[in-house]
Amino acid sequence: MRGWTVFFILWTLAGGWATPLPEAAARLYEQGLTHNRHPLQSSPPPFLEPTSDGRSYVAIWQTCEWPQTWIVSLPGSRGYAIEDLAVWQPHLRGRKVGLICLQWWLGAGDRAEDYLSPREIYREIDLTLQSLKVAAQSVVLEGFSRGSTQTFSLAALDVFAGRRYFNLIVASSGAVSENYPPTRQILDGHFGAHPLTGTRWITVAGGQDPNPDRDGIPAMRRSADWLKKQGAVVVESIEVPDSGHGALHRSSQAMGRLLQHIFGSNASTLQELSREYQRLRTVKGHFQGGQWNDEVDRWAGRKHEVMSDLGDALGQAGTRESDIIRWMGPPDERATPGSHSWASARPDQGDYLLVYCWRGHHDFLYFLCSKERVLSSQWWMAGE
């Protein structure tokens, strides 16, 4: 692939990742491992491929030999591809999908030159997709925060290059800026006339984002309006009033809506998920005073995956409380917002919470409800 040998990441007995990479890319990869808070799944194994200039790398993970859908993801400011991949994994198990995360930050500084430029990003995406023999219109491009701001020029480059890989582009918590030089190039015709015409978009934002005019709901509404003026199709604007920066991955409601657009509503049946969850709920793991059990204790272990899928399916606004209890059983706790240090849950946004423990009260899924209807759902992760 691209003149480089593709090296599969190997999980060593010492509990670390080992892969040969050019020196600069290997150093950047090790730096990302040090900062990653979300352990990677080792089965199936992801693999790394150096960028064409050897300065960085691409992390690639497939759930099957020939994925029907690919997701290309760009992390935010000072973000790491390995952590980005780990955050996505729980939502993608059981689906025929490939995930590509590009390490586009070079590991030091926060100036524009400390990141790959949009043309460099697209070059690496294109080379990777070509090597994987990915077809046109089978890729979802997603960018978070600063990564989101790159999606506008990347979509234009994709059309200009004639590749048209991107069937859907997701701009998550990062608005378009007409003063950003790559965006100006779109408006000035560098990528041809009206390159965004007909491209399909989803915008995502949280109502509690600390920078609402840059990354929050007002900013992403402005971005959606701008896209429409360029002839793009905004499929949906996902807004989560009680979530903050990064609402897409913080909110089961937001992720559920996106996954429905990507995979449809029948990726896993509720009946299958419900049966599996009831089984896993009886398994006593480390956080319930038992022995460590990967199936219920590990990040992206089976219990985490099943609860993520149930949260995605049932966490949509308007879902009946009775439906949650039907599929998940009685909650582990029924609580009042504000009675604990609940994440993003305030008394004025709901009457009560239905709490379902993953790893005891260390990490859990909760549904914010009012009048027996769901307003939203979120994960509480200890220390996050």
Confidence band (pLDDT; 50, 70, 90) for 147?
Answer: very high
Cα distance between residue 89 and residue 302, in whole Å: 11
- Listed range (154-163, 199-208, 360-369) with the worst mean pLDDT: 360-369
Mean pLDDT of all residues in 213-233: 97
Angstrom distance (rounded) from CA 244 to CA 221: 16
Taking Cα atoms as reference points, which of 84, 88, 8, 97 lies closest to residue 48? Answer: 8
Residues 320-354, buried b or exposed e (16+ Cβ, 10 A)? ebeebeebbeebbeebebeeeebebbeeebbebbb
Do the beta carbons of residue 61 and residue 99 sit within 8 Å?
Answer: yes
Q: List strands edge to edge, sheet with 97-102.
A: 7-8, 47-50, 57-62, 97-102, 69-74, 139-144, 166-172, 200-206, 233-240
- Kindly tell me if the per-residue pLDDT of 110 is higher than 70: yes
Q: What domains appear along the chain, each with residue ranges and CATH number?
A: 7-263 (3.40.50.1820), 271-381 (no CATH)
The reported pLDDT for the residue numbered 380 is: 86
Strand positions, DSSP E, 186-240: 200-206, 233-240
Pick the range with the lowest mean pLDDT from 57-61, 170-174, 372-376: 372-376
> What is the pLDDT at residue 269?
67
The per-residue pLDDT for 184 is: 96
Would you state the pLDDT for residue 384?
Answer: 43
Residue 340's pLDDT band, with cuts at 50, 70 and 90, is low
Query: Band of the pLDDT at 112, cuts 50, 70, 90?
Result: very high
The residue among 112 and 44 whose pLDDT is bigger is: 112
pLDDT bracket for residue 18 (50, 70, 90)? very low
How crowded is residue 63: how many other Cβ atoms within 10 Å of its Cβ?
Answer: 15
Mean pLDDT of the chain: 87
233: which residues sit within 8 A by CB, 6+ positions away? Answer: 198, 199, 200, 201
- Highest average pLDDT, of 63-77, 146-160, 353-367, comes from 146-160
Q: What is the structure's pLDDT at 194?
A: 94
Q: Which has the higher per-residue pLDDT, 350 or 131? A: 131
Average pLDDT over residues 57-79: 94
Q: What distances in angstroms separate CA 191 from CA 72, 210, 261, 336, one per listed residue?
A: 21, 33, 28, 53
Please say whether the beta carbons of 140 and 166 come within 8 A: yes
> Per residue in 327-338, pLDDT tens?
999 999 998 876
Q: What is the pLDDT of residue 345?
A: 47
Is the pLDDT reported for residue 116 higher than 50?
Answer: yes
Question: What pLDDT score was predicted for residue 14?
Answer: 29
Find the range with the poorest average confidence among 3-12, 95-104, 306-315: 3-12
- Report the range of poorest mean pLDDT among 90-94, 118-122, 256-260: 90-94
40-50: per-residue pLDDT in tens?
765 677 899 99
> What's the CA gap between 357 and 332, in Å, rounded?
6
Enter the pTM of the model. 0.71
Q: With a cut of 90, say whether residue 177 has pLDDT above it.
A: yes
Please give the pLDDT value at position 342.
52
Cβ-Cβ contacts under 8 Å for 197 (sequence gap 6 or more):
230, 231, 232
Q: Can you tell me which residue has the tokens 């990653």?
A: 36
Q: Is the pLDDT of residue 154 over 70?
A: yes
Please give the pLDDT value at position 356.
96
Task: Tell me the Cα Rg of the chain.
Answer: 21
